[in-house]
Amino acid sequence: MADWLHSTVRGVRSTTQRLIGNRSDAEGVATHDGMIAGRAVRHFVPTGARAAAQLLYFHGGGFVSGSIDSHHGLCSRLAAQSGIALVSASYRLAPEHPAPAQLDDALAVAQALAAQPGQLLIGGDSAGAWLALRCALALHDQQPGRVSAALLLYPFVDLAAQADTLIAYARPAVALMRAALGTGYPSLLNLDLGRAPPCAMLWGAGLDPVAPGAAALADALSAAGVATRVRRHRLLVHGGLNLANRVALVDRLLAAAAADLNMLTGAS
């Protein structure tokens, strides 16, 4: 691994944990750690959780940072607001583990949960949203309709082309992701989105660098006949949902996204 890449990723991870790490717990949510398919996971079980339903969640961080610890607070609140037992799954990070290690790990956990009885939902933020939708499509190929719905929070869509539409400050981050992954992941826009489950989506506006790609994905999903509920907010920044329980607006946005997810599965 090049020295510059190692030092830069180390800095990104430190900054990520400092800025968005939030270990606070939502009221009424029990938490315990475990292992699924060889990966560390954290279970968040809200009081009165919907029977026989699980939401598999993948954290964001550009495939190079983030963890089940950095996204603890977000996942705890999402479990509370949705009323669904949530499984937050870890995956190997680049550049120590180049692509497709991240997708391999995510798929292994998704397949293990899909083999269990009950309703399965899937979600994630940023790069985790990319993994979530990609896993949903793969599970559909194996068990059509197995994933009931997907929650895509400021989804990262296109590692290659999206750099042209990113605002200037985000372009170095995309370049870092490319260098760390070694082999890029395909654009979600190039996949057969007609196989996707119903999707609830939330992202920001000018302050969210993935907004152009997220909007294109929402349009493509709708054009493919996929039921899609979209929310945008001009003040939501990328990664801002990790500030749940610190900023009232963020908690409301997360609750609204959870309500959309439940509506798509007929639970509300």
pLDDT of residue 161 exceeding 60: no
pLDDT value for 12: 83
Residue 87 sits at the vertex; the CA angle it makes with 13 and 266, to the nearest 5 degrees, is: 125
Lowest-confidence region among 42-51, 139-148, 178-187, 219-228: 178-187
> 93 burial class (0-12, 13-18, 19+ CB within 10 angstroms)?
buried
Task: Assess contact for 193 and 225: CB atoms under 8 A.
Answer: no
pLDDT digit string, tens, across residues 212-267: 889 999 999 999 999 999 999 998 988 889 887 677 888 899 999 999 999 999 87
pLDDT of residue 191 exceeding 60: yes
pLDDT value for 99: 95
Backbone angles phi, psi at 115, to 5 degrees: -80, -10
pLDDT value for 195: 97
pLDDT value for 198: 98
pLDDT digit string, tens, across residues 35-49: 999 999 999 999 999
pLDDT value for 38: 98
pLDDT value for 208: 87
pLDDT value for 152: 98
pLDDT digit string, tens, across residues 60-109: 999 999 999 999 999 999 999 999 999 999 999 999 999 999 999 999 99
Task: Name the class of domain 3-264.
Answer: alpha beta
Which residues 6+ apart lie within 8 Å of 164 measured at CB? Answer: none
